[in-house]
Amino acid sequence: MSYVLSNGKPLLSQKATNDGHAENSPYFDGWKAYDSDPFHPTQNPSGVIQMGLAEHQLCFNLVQKWLENNPEASICTKEGVDKFRDIAIFQDYHGLPEFRNAVAKFMGRVRGDKVRFDPDRIVMSGGATGAHELITFCLADPGDAFLVPTPYYPGFDRDLCWRTGVRLLPVVCHSSNNFKVTRKALEEAYAKAVEANITVKGLLITNPSNPLGTILDRDTLREAMSFINEKNIHLVCDEIYAATVFRQPDFISIAEIIEEDQEYNRDLVHIIYSLSKDMGFPGFRVGIVYSYNDAVVECGRKMSSFGLVSSQTQYLIASMLSDDQFIEKFLLESAGRLATRHKDFTDGLRQVGIKCLNSNAGLFLWMDLKGFLKESTVEAETDLWRVIINDVKLNVSPGSSFHCSEPGWFRICIANMNEETTKVALARIQEFVQRNGDKLNRKEKCWQSDLRLRLSFRRMDDVLRSPCSMSPHSPIPQSPLVRART
């Protein structure tokens, strides 16, 4: 497709034609492979199983039952249609008062009612994606930077950078201490930015972590607060997985830390939240910026008009989150089901010698496949990833797409499928390991012959050349990292 006019001038803007959306990575490429050949238990049992989607589908039956019992919560039912006119007309971009009240109460409930959230500080946005971009626009200018501990969610490169012009600088963490964020690593990253004459405007942390599935302890959170106060930079805390903690230790919100020590500068603290992970509602696009800074709240409200949550969704969510009995049951049942799925899958992996990072939250596992690499390089990891998608037929995400500094780690999502599909996915992994396990202890860990790799890549090329319908998550059609390199 041509992006240049006949007079040589660009047809589209630089933003429209650059690679800032960051889709050229295995994380997004895996979606293309899945969309081209999706698994179905009867219609396509040999297809690719989607394990690259961090989605919570284990409690949909609870939500469905609530909807059946509360039809008046929707303006699209006979019981709720009388509210249609009031909800369909223009709504203030501050959000429905009942919606903000319900979200603020739910945020406190998820955090064990240890802290209270002010409804007047709730700023709406279109999902966590929109919330991250909104807070970035409020805090930084093009060329400024945020420090981000690795490994981190690949979408941050898009959400925080593409349209804002802001950059992300990695705070390199290591498996030797379970990827814990240390003061030393923060200082090193900050010093490198200063040396490069880059203005650091903030630190972005994810708690619980995506992709690690771990939580930040109290000491780490205090260290982060101390660091940003000394540097006088912002702290953006992504807490969208707060209710996915399924066993001890309990989740600790940054809100608790600043309540405990009044010396911290609250104006520097901002929380990102949504209902996409905790409730399993990514399609509702409910994103929240909760800032302790009055100016950010005021500015964020103005910016939110570009990505509001629909009033119909606000009305439904307000009713659901206000049902204390339902919320209590949902949170307890969700934690139990996530714990069961986590245990079943890790037990199955352990049977064939695959270890995962010890985690207690999230919708995924951080799986250690270093023993299957021919060498400890990103290229070897990418080769293994290709075979897992093409031969094992699982869409998992390699650690390099999460900016992990150590090749061989993979994120594998376990909560977006039913139990039957989970068993098929686990069986495929076990079969792969058993077929290649005798090679793990060899000095040269060559788990596939060159011929098999070439054949595997050709099959993937055949898939990519075939026409297919693209999902909203799909990357650009000619994604280079999925195509085999010769």
Length of the chain: 486
**Distance (Å, whole) CA 275 – CA 255:** 18
Structure tokens at 419: 């139990």
Label residue 199 left, alpha or beta by phi (over 0 means left) and psi (-120 to 50 means alpha). Answer: beta
DSSP code of residue 308: P
Dihedral in degrees, nearest 10, Cα atoms 35, 41, 46, 47? 10
Rounded Cα distance between 368 and 389, Å, is 16
Question: Can you tell me the distance from the alpha carbon of 37 to that of 394, in angstroms, rounded to the nearest whole number?
Answer: 11
**Catalytic residue set:** 153, 238, 240, 277
- Name the β-bridge partners of 395: 50
CA 75 to chain CA centroid, Å, is 31
Pairing type for strands 409-413 and 397-398 reads antiparallel
Which residue intervals of 196-310 are DSSP H helices?
A: 218-231, 254-260, 294-303
| 3-state SS assignment for residue 339 | helix
Of 231, 168, 163, the residue nearest 205 (C-alpha): 168
Q: Hey, what amino acid is at 142?
A: P
Q: Helices 294-303 and 127-139: crossing angle, nearest 10°?
A: 120
- 409-413 β-sheet, strand order: 355-356, 364-368, 409-413, 397-398
